[in-house]
Structure 1
């Protein structure tokens, strides 16, 4: 990458022996070794950042909600089932602790980057692939925004695997690659319905290119479609036969909105602007390499057929949501573009007209390492900031509230209702508890439920009235105050009303 201004200690390091040694390491190491070192450093540093920066708050309620779904196997929940299935398998091995949840998030990201490396090495030499990998590590979707495993992040490895095998099938028309592309496309859709845009991107790409006739005559597109349908068939059956399923309710109440065309246009523009802003570091890496006009032209519309396919698979799934929003307005946000980026390095750094020497790869790696180390150093400050954040105030007390409920009920097996901002986060810490509005279906589990409980925040008058009513003459109600401390600092106290009533009549 371009030389930073000479002079000063940083410039000496940037251009001196350390940089030369790093460039030599890149030249002399195999791709597998570079991948191993990069992913190990990435996983360790960002697991440390997630754990320390969230030391003053409890697990996000998205994770807690998934832990409820994971208790019972289903073909669908509020979202498609992949997140719950993975969470169920993870909790069968790891304890229900905060660090285990952050480890799942990091493992998911590392798997995504490992698959992405395979994509990059199919199209780029190791220096370009390394620049691309480290550029992605500096995208917030792979770091600061990815601390929780949810419906957005669960798609990431499956999306990357889909484009990997689609591009291989397009190049060599092997039936195994075609089947794997279809399987992973289906699994992406089972992560979140956003996966439909990946399928649309594949559809567009499959009708483009000079080898169009060869590709379709091979039967690869039909194998992809058949494999995807096999994977999706059980979930589609669930969608068609399950009445009043939560996915339908979630889409109508939380996703779709009523908006004018002008408002929808602003939302789409905000989405596209946000998408670009999130990848400013890879774009900066590209600019620092000083591409000439020929490199710019070859990047915007590549001469190589494989890179043109990669461009279509990147751009179509990113732009299509903005166009769909104009016809069917919905709660569109750039954060939903979490899984879309595996092909960005191929598009930015794939042109043979762009010079990417080993020293550029070394500088890219050191940049990513410095940013990651600075994040770890700053993580206690982030944790301290969480102590006084009103936006996430209740996230700090899920574990304490859960323990208090179990104590008051003399059992962790309870039905819980109350203020929405609190209730969703309790179930990760109370694995035997269930939401009051969706009790368990299993008869033995129902019989194990010992009490009903309500948790209300200050100012939620209707919840507090319902809590007092629940307690009645046979239960109990109490106001409890919690605070968190960190490195000698104490958060503002939060008071909750907790009412518990024993269940005397079985379900």
Structure 2
């Protein structure tokens, strides 16, 4: 009847209003803001106008790196560099095509960096942040092939909300070195697949090989390239060209020296990698599940931010996904491979698979979600996300970093990084009480040994071969004759026992104990006792151990220690 409404229509209208009332409010607010922006927004709008002019993205990356470098410098005032960073620097001191633990790329990068910059904490922290900035720049290389202007910035801002490019990156190791290599290799493969040009095909193969030189986990990226190429609608054109063969040839040329090293040294890194295997089916399935859940948790904040941006337009996602262009479809297949292949491997091989290992590939999801949208993003949202990202960084620098520094000054890190520099300097001082020669070699607790190599003015070499890093092998007689020192934390029974066995091999030695204390701007903090064993060079006159520090006392010290887990 005229004048009467259909109850079902009323229900539909009510449900629509219930589902998205804030969407309409935000859309109206966005429209008003874009028409008449507030005064405080205008500098940011001018910055966004510079995206396609070429200066806005570099400025964003420079500010990002600068803010988080400041955070690291403040937050770790009472702590030294992470053991992973110190180990990476140690690996890079000699140029090798491999080592028994990881492929060599991280050591090469650190060696090149420290040949230009000084051996200081801020220098290597700067290296970590520059690596993040380069990684985000490589992501933008991909993004700009699909979108322009604000969407390019949105991709970078969403990635900056991840913990990947600040906290994960500051531990520069075999995982962090992939942050820049993975997007660069993906960009080269994308260009190779689209153009099938010789140069891009060679670049794709070479960058994929460099990723393998970073960490063997990159086999999942290469496998995803193959998977994406096979499943893509344009596979005939790609595989019918010379591009795949050129990529394989270029990759083998780059990897050739490392493959030769593996063949002639027993492929020790594979043994280190397989040491993670051995899980039964149930625990391995749990590892795969936790891998996926870990990725989901990492993406939570940028995902929630994107929901606020897209609002009711999220319902367009299925249609937008179906209408993706060929380039985005290729990236979507690569993204699937980088997540699914590690999960399958964890189950099949029975190995652990921390989600942290996948962080360098999360950029693919950011690119796909933003670049795959068919609708424009109002500047209202771009400015808001920029302000939120900058606000988080500023709060981290001004509030969180000082609190972290004060807390860690009084509550030491479990790995003892509050005490690395102090222990290294005290050991060096004691060494020079017995000889004028620089301290040539050091081992013992790995973290203390790496730290001594870095922080000591003598920069001794790390004396334990990496092939025996976890087996507590004793120093060779030739090492002891040239002079050597070892450090252990009090309470580390395995290290103390190893130190006792080492002293039994030395013709002369000196043992000591000293307390090192954390300080923050002159304020004393936590303390810890360190045990040192010094074996002076054989050419020196015999050194009489100080009273109370003979090898018998070292044995007594060992018996007093409580057991600790194997390293």
Give the one of 45, 60, 66 matched to 1:38: 60
Judged with a 3 Å threshold, the aligned counterparts in structure 2 of structure 1 residues 207 and 471 are, in CA distance, closer, same or farther, namely closer
Q: What CA deviation, in whole Å up to 9, does each residue of 1:236-281 have, x standing for no partner? A: 12112213x542442244x33x221111111111111001111223
Change (3 A) 1:224 1:384: same
Give yes or no for contact 2:452–2:459 (8 Å, CA) kept in 1.
no
1:348 corresponds to 2:406: no
Counterpart secondary structure, 1:484: strand
Does residue 322 of structure 1 match 2:343? Answer: yes
Indicate which of 139, 142, 151 corresponds to 1:128: 151
Q: What is the rounded CA distance, in whole Å, between the counterparts of 1:189 and 1:124 in structure 2? A: 30
Question: 2:358 matched to 1:337?
Answer: yes
Q: Confirm whether residue 416 of structure 1 aligns to residue 421 of structure 2.
A: no
- Residue 252 (structure 2) aligned to one of 204, 226, 229: 229
Which of 160, 164, 175 is matched with 1:137 structurally? Answer: 160
Q: Is this contact kept in 1: 2:51–2:150, CA < 8 A?
A: no
Residue 61 of structure 1 and its aligned partner are, at CA, apart by: 1.2
RMSD: 2.8
Selected match of 2:225 from 196, 199, 202? 202
**Would you say 1:266 and 2:286 are equivalent positions?**
yes
Distance 1:439 1:30, change over 3 A: closer
Q: In the alignment, what sits opposite 1:443? A: none
Following the alignment from structure 1 to structure 2, what is the Cα–Cα distance between the partners of residues 307 and 29? 21
Q: Determine if contact 1:418/1:463 at 8 Å carries over to the other structure.
A: yes
- CA deviation map 1:25-71 (0-9, x unaligned): 41365352210220111011011111111111111111221222212
Q: Higher relative CO (CA 8 A, sep ≥ 6), structure 1 or 2?
A: 1
Residue 203 of structure 1: CA displacement? 0.2
SS at match of 1:493: strand
- Which residue of 1 is the match for residue 454 of structure 2? 428
Q: Tell me the residue number matched to 2:73.
A: 51
The answer to whether the 8 Å contact 2:279/2:352 transfers is: no
SS of the residue 1:477 aligns to:
strand
1:222 and 1:373 map into 2 onto residues whose CA distance is 49
> What SS class does the counterpart of residue 123 from structure 1 fall into?
coil
CA contact (8 A) 2:415 2:447 kept: no
Greater Cα shift, 298-307 or 320-329: 298-307
**Which residue of structure 1 aligns with residue 544 of structure 2?**
none
Aligned to 1:287: 307
Aligned to 1:296: 317
Note closer, same or farther for the CA distance 1:352–1:68 as it changes in structure 2 (3 Å cut). Answer: closer
- Identify which of 185, 188, 200 aligns with 1:165: 188
- Partner of residue 465, structure 2: 438
SS where residue 221 of structure 1 aligns? helix
Counterpart position of 2:548: none
- The structure 1 segments of at least 4 consecutive aligned residues displaced by more than 6 Å after TM superposition are 1-7, 446-449
Does residue 1:483 correspond to 2:517, yes or no?
Answer: yes
Is contact 1:116–1:342 with CA below 8 Å preserved after alignment? yes
Distance 1:220 1:491, change over 3 A: same
Measured after TM superposition, the shift of residue 421 of structure 1 is 4.9
Is the Cα contact below 8 Å between 1:167 and 1:306 reproduced in 2?
A: yes
Given that 1:271 and 1:334 are in contact with CA atoms closer than 8 Å, whether structure 2 keeps it comes out as yes
Larger radius of gyration: 2
2:382 — aligned with what? 361
Name the SS for the 1:343 alignment partner.
helix
Q: 1:406 to 1:143 in 2, by over 3 A?
A: same
User: Relative to 1, partners in 2 of residues 1:340 and 1:29: Cα closer, same or farther, differing over 3 Å?
Assistant: closer
Q: 2: distance between equivalents of 1:317 and 1:46?
A: 28
Question: Any unmatched runs of 5+ in structure 2?
Answer: 1-21, 468-477, 541-567
Asked whether 1:464 is paired with 2:485, we answer: no
1:478 partner SS: strand
Question: What is the rounded CA distance, in whole Å, between the counterparts of 1:417 and 1:28 in structure 2?
Answer: 53
The answer to whether 1:75 aligns with 2:75 is: no
Structure 2 CA distance for aligned equivalents of residues 300 and 291 of structure 1: 16
> Residue deviations 1:323-359, cap 9 Å, x none?
1000112231111113102322221112343331222
For residue 452 of structure 1, the aligned residue among 484, 499, 513 is 484
Cα shift at 1:285: 2.7
Separation in 1, partners of 2:50, 2:480: 62
Aligned to 1:502: 536
Q: Answer with 200-209 or 455-464: which moved more.
A: 455-464
Q: How does 1:183-194 map to 2 (within 5 A)?
A: 183-194=206-217
Cα 1:240/1:144, change in 2 over 3 Å: same
Residues 424 and 451, structure 2, Cα contact 8 Å, conserved in 1: no
Instruction: Note closer, same or farther for the CA distance 1:246–1:132 as it changes in structure 2 (3 Å cut).
Output: same
**Using the alignment, how far apart are the partners of 1:435 and 1:249 within structure 2?**
22
Structure 1 residues 475 and 157, CA gap change in structure 2 (3 angstroms): same
For structure 1, which runs of at least 5 residues remain unmatched after alignment?
A: 441-445
Contact 2:83 2:450 in 1 (8 A): yes
1:149 aligns with 2:155: no
Write the distance in 1 (CA, Å) between the matches of 2:451 and 2:319. Answer: 49
2:143 and 2:367 in contact (8 A); partners too: yes
**Normalization by structure 2: what TM-score?**
0.81
Q: More displaced, 101-110 or 412-421?
A: 412-421
Q: Which residue of 1 aligns with 2:41?
A: 19
Given candidates 401, 417, 421, the residue that maps to 1:399 is: 421
